[in-house]
Amino acid sequence: MEYKNTYNNLNDTEVWRYGDTEERLFSKSSLNEIPQQLQTCIDLTHPTYSNDNRSADTALSQPYRSIALSPNKSPVAFFDSGVGGLTVFNKFKKLLPNENCLYFGDTKNMPYGEKTEEQLLEYADNIFKFFETKGAKAVIMACNTTSAVTYEKLKNNYSFKIYPIIQSVCKELANLPDVKKLGIIATPATVKSRAYSKEISKYNSKVEVSELSAPNWVRIVEEHRIYQPQSIEQVKEILDIMSDFAPDKIVLACTHYPYLIDVLKKFMPEDMFIDPAENFARIIKDDLTENNMLNDKFEYEKFFVSDNPENFKEAAKMFYEQGCLPEVINFG
C-alpha cells in the first residue's frame, strides 16, 4: 500500500491518498507539516529519497510523487479514565511486543462511571482527536464505560480503527460452557446503559444476566486503598448482593476491578471471576493480524495523563511498570 500525493497549484495544498479510502490535506513544502501518521511511516531508504541525495523535504515538495510507506509502524493507542486500562495494555503487550503504543489515562475526569453521557462523549472525542494527531492506526477503548455509552455515537468519526471492549468480548461471554447465569459488576454508567445485557442477548438469549454497579471500586484502586478495612468491606457488600443472584460466573466489567482480585478471592473462589481483558487482547491481535496491520519492530511506548502523573505511575505498578512519569495533556 502507498500514500500518493498530488500537488494542487490552485490552493497550495497537497492531497495524499492511502489506497482508495483516505485523503489528507496539508500545505506543501515541509515534512514537518505532514500529519504525524505519515511522518512515522515514511521509508527514507526508498528511491524517492535516495536518488541524487535529495532530502525528504525536497522530495515531498515535488508534484505527483509516490512514496512507499509502512503504516504498520504507527502506534496502537489505549485509553481509560485512569490505570484500569493497563490491564488490557499489559496483556496486549505480551501478545504483541513489537507494537508501538500510546496510553492516555484521563485522571482529571476519573471516575467515568459517575459522569453523564454528554460528558463522556466530550472526553472520548477529545482523546480520539488527540490520538489522531499522534498518528494512531488503531485505538483500544480499554474502558467499559465509554464502550457502553459513547462507542456507537463516535465510531465513524475518525481515521483509525476502534476496538471497544464490551462489543468485542460479549460473543464469547454469551457462549461460556456451563454458564446459565452471568453476573456483571460494573460502573453505574455501564450498568445504566445495560450494554452487557444487550450485547450478550444478541448471541445467546438463554443466558440470564444480572448487572450490578460498584460505584466505589474505581476510587479504591486509583487511591491505593485496596487493603484498607473500609475498602474490603465495600467490596464484600457488593459481592453479598451479587451472591443473591447465584451466578455461575462474574464478569469484572471495569478494567480497574481486576486490581481487586486479592480482596475478591477472600469471599469467592478466584475462578468465579472473569477478566475480559485477556480475551479482548487476543481478539485485537487476531484482527490486526488478519488485516496485515502488525509492526515488526518495537520502537517506543508513551504514556499521557490529564492530571496527577505521580499518582498514576504509583497506582500503575501492580500491572505495568513505567520508566518515567507520563506526560500531562490538557484539552482546555
179 in the same domain as 97: no
Q: Which residue has the cell 498514576?
A: 312
- Of 275, 295, 317, the residue at which a domain comes to its end is 275
244 in the same domain as 323: no
Range of the domain at 256: 167-275
Query: What amino acid positions are annotated as catalytic residues?
Result: 143, 254
State which residues of the chain have pLDDT below 70.
Answer: 1-71
Gap between the Cα atoms of 219 and 260, Å rounded: 11
Which grid cell is 306? 490529564
Predicted structure pTM score: 0.78
Contact 165, 171 (CB under 8 A): no
Which grid cell is 62? 515535488
Residue spans of alpha helices (H) in the chain = 36-39, 47-50, 56-60, 86-95, 117-133, 144-149, 151-154, 165-174, 188-193, 195-203, 217-222, 229-243, 261-264, 277-290, 309-316
The percentage of the chain sitting over the pLDDT mark of 70, rounded to a whole number, equals: 79
198 in the same domain as 268: yes
pLDDT at 321: 84
266 in the same domain as 172: yes
171 in the same domain as 161: no
pLDDT at 319: 80
pLDDT at 70: 56
pLDDT at 71: 63
28 in the same domain as 40: yes
86 in the same domain as 120: yes
48 in the same domain as 88: no
176 in the same domain as 115: no
Q: How many domains does the chain have?
A: 3
Q: What is the CATH number of the domain that holds 315?
A: 3.40.50.1860
288 in the same domain as 144: yes
116 in the same domain as 29: no
Strand order in the sheet with 22-27: 22-27, 13-18, 2-8, 66-68
The percentage of the chain sitting over the pLDDT mark of 90, rounded to a whole number, equals: 73
pLDDT tens, 55-107?
444 334 333 233 334 568 999 999 999 999 999 999 999 999 999 999 999 99
- Of 275, 301, 319, the residue at which a domain comes to its end is 275
pLDDT at 318: 82
DSSP state of 51: G
Question: C-alpha 61: how far from its chain's center?
Answer: 35
20 in the same domain as 64: yes
The SS3 assignment for 265 reads coil
